[in-house]
Chain A
């Protein structure tokens, strides 16, 4: 059997291998080691879910616990990035972007353009996203559309352990600021991950499943929800093609259009809130550039336009599931003009 790692282990391995390879790679964030200045053990946490555990023990002061001052340490990571380091800052939950967003979107994202092409800002911000953890409205959002919206940032939303490792290595080696979204429900997911370091290029979507009847464009955890739906639909004789975008900026427009033109029927599945999200962007792209190929209106499967609720019954209703994807696919396949 091929070597198996969890999504979480794949991320830890990518960080470890890149820190081994390049001394300018440093980590900073709240409790990325844990235990700084305390009387007990150092490297006590490795982040709240243990993702970076063990890295302090290997790399010492290149793994830096920070005060709960996201503006200061995310900004410091940016300042260090334009001064010769390759920092990986951890914004514990993407929901906390509100307290440091200026540094990301007005500083890091704009340096290169606003300074006439002279700045290089090799920054990675790793951040946890997504619902399903019963973590309620301030610890469960996706928010990648907001970062995707900003020219100058790259946005990565991996769906598997293999992609998480390869895309994180690419993020660290990349010379532009990258926001790397880790869906918290994916951390325990197992998958094949080669031991040697490898980088997956940005802007290359992954055809998770090939099919001729309907195109499902999706990303992150919704790739698995869509795969479950496709398996159910296959039993009904509906053959779905699933495209995992992997990065929302840059966006692999060609793969999306190629598949939409082939099947003529498109469902976009996105866990982000519905207004101005990835689903609307993909729908607009297809409507503009592949309109003549469409045999049915594009369907978007997203949560409702509400905050993420706490109670399990409500949160389960909120998150798009395979049943909703199946229903959307039936809509587009049964559509009569």
Chain B
């Protein structure tokens, strides 16, 4: 599969935007200005970017509690996301959802999800609707290694297989379900092995490698769109921060994250590969870097300055009509 220069620029911009967004929230959260709790996607950007680059407006996506990256990659407005995380009325969900529930149905983003394993059944339904309505759209469901052990995920793999749904299930295995290792919690070597139990293709890829994810996802998305049914993709990856902000991560080896950042970082690897192959110039990447920093700076300034919801908003939008 040949990536055009525009594709490469888009992929880099997506990954860089997610990284900058998350690094900035990491800093801002420490000031105490962001309410509630946030789960950061930094380190996993190649997955969201590598999957979502194959998707278009017809396609739907269900996400996880660690959803910022999926939202950005599916085209959610960054200002709207930031304002939402700050609990502001201008937020994508009018300040009623927060980090764990960012959604933009107009973009096919059916929501980050506070319930581990909450998304896969919904993705089956979105895929079923696409099939029944003949939209040619597909649905992608992200879960973590924790969500991969939920019954909902396994039931959904089965349902998607028997109904031959245009679905792609992506397990982002970052090694830890909260503070418990996937080596302890998962009775399998690779989560992708479980695909064979549901008669669907299962592939394990390096989630730090944009190009590996891109290739695998491209095949899965094409199969789904062409009526070939679902695929399970496991992306082995690492998160750079804790389960949530404030997690001291004492369960991880002392230098674990530092080493991964130095040797396996998805953005560094992508930049090295595309520049050494002469596909993009350093200047191309630096331009994007500057634009992304400005975008995130602006989004934080706007979010801080934005109005909070009004008291009347407490009671609105529970029902369409009641």
Contact = CB atoms under 8 A, between A and B. Distances in A.
Interface of A: 24, 26, 62, 64, 66-67, 69, 71-85, 87, 102-103, 106-107, 111-120, 151-152, 154, 174-176, 203, 250
B184 interface: no
Nearest to A111: B111
5 contacts: A76-B121, A78-B125, A80-B132, A83-B126, A84-B135
The 4 lowest CB-CB distance pairs between A and B, nearest first, are A75-B121, A79-B125, A117-B317, A116-B94
Contacts of B27: none
A113 B314 CA distance: 9
A67 B158 contact: yes
Contacts of A83: 60, 110, 125-126, 129-130
Query: In this complex, which of B92, B95, B129, B163 has the most chain A Cβ atoms within 10 angstroms of its Cβ?
Result: B129
B228 interface: no
Given A84-B133, A107-B122, A176-B319, A72 B114 contact: no
Interface in B119-172: 120-130, 132-133, 135, 139, 151-152, 155-156, 158-159, 162-163
Contacts of B152: 71-72, 75, 102-103
B2 interface: no
Interface of B: 60, 62, 91-97, 101, 103-106, 110-111, 113-115, 118, 120-130, 132-133, 135, 139, 151-152, 155-156, 158-159, 162-163, 316-322
A334 to B, nearest CB: 39
A75 to B, nearest CB: 2
A174 B320 CA distance: 9
A26 B125 CA distance: 12
Given A79-B121, A83-B60, A152-B319, A116 B126 contact: no
Nearest to A36: B162
Contacts of A62: 132
A80 B118 CA distance: 14
A231 to B, nearest CB: 35
Contacts of A107: 113, 115, 118, 122
B320 A114 contact: no
Contact of A116 (B60, B96, B155): B96
B155 A118 contact: no
B3 to A, nearest CB: 29
A257 B304 CA distance: 47
Nearest to B62: A79
A182 to B, nearest CB: 23
A72 B155 contact: yes
Greatest chain A CB density within 10 A among B97, B114, B127 is at B97
A257 to B, nearest CB: 18
B125 A75 contact: yes
A87 B133 CA distance: 13
Contact of B320 (A64, A103, A120): A120
Given A73-B159, A76-B159, A102-B115, A112 B125 contact: no
Nearest to A26: B132
A79 B156 CA distance: 12
A75 B122 contact: yes
B224 to A, nearest CB: 15
A119 B93 CA distance: 10
Nearest to B84: A116
A116 B115 contact: no
Contacts of B125: 75-83, 85, 87
B128 A79 contact: yes
A72 B121 contact: yes
A102 B116 CA distance: 10
Nearest to A119: B105
B114 to A, nearest CB: 7
